[in-house]
Amino acid sequence: MTESTHDGPTSVRRWQVPGRVNLVGEHLDYNGGPSLPFAIDRFLTVKARARDDDAVNAWSGGRKASFTTSVAPGDVDGWAAYVAGAVWAFGQAGHRLGGVDLVLEVDPKAGLPEGAGLSSSAALTVGVVSALDDLAGTGLDGTTRAVVAQRAENDFVGAPTGLMDQLAVVHGRAGHAVLTRPLADPPHTEPAPFDPPGAGLSLLVIDTGVDHSHAVHAETGGGYAQRREECGRAAAELGLEHLADAGLDAVLRLQDETLKARLRHVITETARVTAAVRTLRDGDWSQLGTILTASHESLRDDFEVSCAELDVAVEAALEAGALGARMTGGGFGGSAIALAPQPKAAAVRELIEHRYDALGWTPPTTFAVRAADGATRTH
């Protein structure tokens, strides 16, 4: 694609779009509860140029996909379904849509890895929606772009995700986490200071390399869709619209042991988010660490979305001196996080690698992240 510096109709717009890590508040977004994610300094880039026909071409890592602006669910699959879904959802929202050439790029060393549970799919859909909005001059606000991007994933790709990831990708702010309540009306987002490096700490991401994507897709009957269904059933039995509205006594009112356990997670995790926000305001990092680890235990034992690779990473991180560690995201693979004093970060990484090695597992990829700005037009 030829770049142009003038702002004519054929000029190239470039968007830098981060992934996200969820600090705490897991599996709450679709239950009406709060989450505390942050956008990370691992990005993908979306370059976009308007066309004067209705063709949509997308290039990504040597792959190319072509369709038109009339693309509909079922027409496109694989990686390009996220692009096509964003195009479709933008049009469905009633916005003017012309053809577009899109180039999606990820720096192979420091870019946003795909399939690591760091929301590369939300980054992709938010990036394309932002570019379409920009080219059409629609001027949608960030939350509306996030909602359109979620629709792409839910109704085109067939992944029944909540809205947390997209809100974090849009509303991220350097040095801050984003307290989100996606099911508030309108969806609520609020920055909360979060700067571990400023306090001599590292927030490490441990990418287990275990593919979690099948768990999210409805048609595979994956664990994510199953958890959503269980939470919906528990809420219906309690006569609640959202499970996060349940009081403590609600656990006693459910008969089914599995639903009780799911509810226990939702209630305790909601309390952990409130407590975590307080630790950020007070700079109480050690207490934040305790909360992160408690969240992992709840996801492992009550919500049952962890896996051996995540548990081993968390246990080794704690043993090597992390203040806290947990799985992040939907679970069933993907990444764990560890909050560690900077001088201990190397020991954390080494002990996790050692444990994986002893178990005959492929070593995970560990790297530090910072809280970064959300999707930004850079050109």
Rounded Cα gap, residues 107 and 251, in angstroms: 47
* Residue 176 lies near ligand GLA (rule: CB under 6 A): no
For residues 194, 196, 199 and 204, what is the CA-based torsion angle, rounded to 10 degrees?
Answer: 170
Q: Which is nearer to ligand GLA, 161 or 270 (CB)?
A: 161
Beta-carbon neighbour count of residue 260 at 10 Å?
16
The one among 330, 333, 364, 374 contacting ligand GLA by CB under 6 A: 330
Smallest gap, in angstroms, from Cβ of residue 349 to ligand GLA?
A: 24
Question: Measuring CA to CA, how many Å separate 37 from each of 32, 33, 118, 142, 166?
Answer: 15, 13, 11, 16, 10
Choices 7-15, 21-29, 167-175, 273-281; region in contact with ligand GLA by CB under 6 A = 21-29
The answer to whether residue 164 forms part of the interface with ligand GLA (CB under 6 A) is yes
Our finding on whether 329 is near ligand GLA (CB under 6 A) is yes
Structure tokens at 248: 């403590």
Pick the binder of ligand GLA from 101, 165, 269, 302 (CB under 6 A).
165
Closer residue to ligand GLA, CB minimum distance, 196 or 330: 330
- Please state the length of the chain: 379
Which single residue is written with the structure tokens 């085109």?
A: 156
**Whole-angstrom Cα distance, residue 139 to residue 130?**
9
CA angle centred on 41, ends 109 and 309, rounded to 5°: 70
- Rounded distance between C-alpha atoms, residue 3 and residue 77, angstroms: 29
**Of 30 and 356, which has the nearer Cβ to ligand GLA?**
30
Q: Quick check: 295 binds ligand GLA (CB under 6 A)?
A: no
Residue span binding ligand GLA (CB under 6 A) among the ranges 40-48, 157-165, 275-283, 355-363: 157-165
The dihedral over CA atoms of 60, 61, 62, 63, expressed in degrees to the nearest 10, equals -40
133 binds ligand GLA (CB under 6 A): no
Taking the complex as a whole, the smallest distance from the CB of residue 199 to ligand GLA amounts, in Å, to: 25
* Beta carbon of residue 233, minimum distance to ligand GLA (angstroms, whole number): 17
Active site includes 165?
yes
3-state secondary structure of 112: coil
Nearest approach, Cβ of residue 1 and ligand GLA (Å): 30
The answer to whether 18 contacts ligand GLA (rule: CB under 6 A) is no
What's at 46, amino acid-wise?
V
Least distance to ligand GLA from the beta carbon of 73, Å? Answer: 18
Q: State yes or no: cis peptide before 186, omega within 30 of 0.
A: yes
Selected catalytic residue, list 29, 41, 165, 207: 165
Give the tokens for residue 169. Answer: 């990708």
Is there binding between residue 26 and ligand GLA (CB under 6 A)?
A: yes
Catalytic residue set = 165
Report the interface residues with ligand GLA, using CB under 6 A. 22, 26-27, 29-30, 161-162, 164-165, 329-330
